[in-house]
Structure 1
């Protein structure tokens, strides 16, 4: 897959807990910090204190190959107990011109929940781009390795998503 093709990764897990419990966990923007290998801190900004369409939150990330960076995310979809989605912006211009324009997002993240036999099917997905991001920079440096760069990044994202989903599953099932 190539960077311009909108590389996407999806993971899902069955959770032996009701949808409302799982929803409570996935809409806690601070929770993934406990499981993600990249996300270090996250907090609501602009007076927001919960997910609402248009609400924004700041994330601080760290990656062994590219260091630390800050993002600002905008909630773009919220369907109670079904969908929570946000786009990630390069507010500081780490990868190009600074932007808070959702049409130029670095990534699009989404949780989907579905009732399933007394439990919940929880899906998480991420789309890299369409705006400039770390993958864009890596491809510009090594255009001959574009497919390998994209595959490597999708593998990293999948590992982080699987860790996060398993962490959410465990918390939901334990009631903690």
Structure 2
């Protein structure tokens, strides 16, 4: 029996579009406000202008779509065109979690998987012990919403 929920999760949606079209959406952080129910805008920062490993951006977040907003600093940690786009959330010194998208050609389209994983540090484990089930459900719903909204755009 597991005492803690896994420190992450993922949701996959098949899209009737080639990986190149899907890649253009998942790797353009300035478009996230069109898709995410929580991150309503993002901008490249620190001189970054596009997706590449080491590029910085900030996401403007409204947790659960309500309440106060805040900016989350992010850094691209994996960037393989048409395959994977991943970024860490946190400061230069501390990563809180990682989010990403995996793209897999499948059945003439693309299987797109959005995922997150929390860092295994003790404060994160304590947070997840208390709020993990609720936050996990919210994250799964948010990932599904994001992917379904992207699907609607690429399948137009």
* TM-score normalised by L of structure 2: 0.87
Q: Bigger radius of gyration, 1 or 2? A: 1
Q: Which 4+ residue blocks in structure 1 deviate beyond 4 angstroms?
A: none
Query: Counterpart of 1:33 in 2: which secondary structure?
Result: helix
Distance of 2:63 and 2:83 partners within structure 1 = 31
Distance of 1:59 and 1:132 partners within structure 2 = 25
Distance of 1:52 and 1:20 partners within structure 2 = 16
State the 1:136 CA deviation: 6.7
2:81 aligns to what? 80
1:56 aligns to what? 56
Question: Where does structure 2 lack aligned partners over 5 or more consecutive residues?
Answer: none
CA distance 1:149–1:66, shift in 2 (3 Å): farther
Distance of 1:132 and 1:72 partners within structure 2 = 21
Q: Is the 8 A contact 1:105 1:131 kept in 2?
A: no
Pairing of 1:15-164 with structure 2 (within 5 A): 15-63=15-63, 67-89=68-90, 99-101=91-93, 104-130=94-120, 139=127, 147=129, 149-164=131-146
- 2:2 paired with 1:10: no
How well do the aligned residues superpose, as a CA RMSD in angstroms?
2.3
Distance of 1:115 and 1:164 partners within structure 2 = 19
CA distance 1:16–1:159, shift in 2 (3 Å): same
Q: Is the 8 A contact 1:105 1:130 kept in 2?
A: no
* TM-score normalised by L of structure 1: 0.77
CA distance 1:107–1:6, shift in 2 (3 Å): farther
1:173 aligns to what? 155
* Count of paired positions: 153
Q: Is the 8 A contact 1:44 1:57 kept in 2?
A: yes
| Higher strand residue share | 2
Query: Counterpart of 1:53 in 2: which secondary structure?
Result: coil
Query: Counterpart of 1:168 in 2: which secondary structure?
Result: helix
Question: Where does structure 1 lack aligned partners over 5 or more consecutive residues?
Answer: 90-98, 140-145
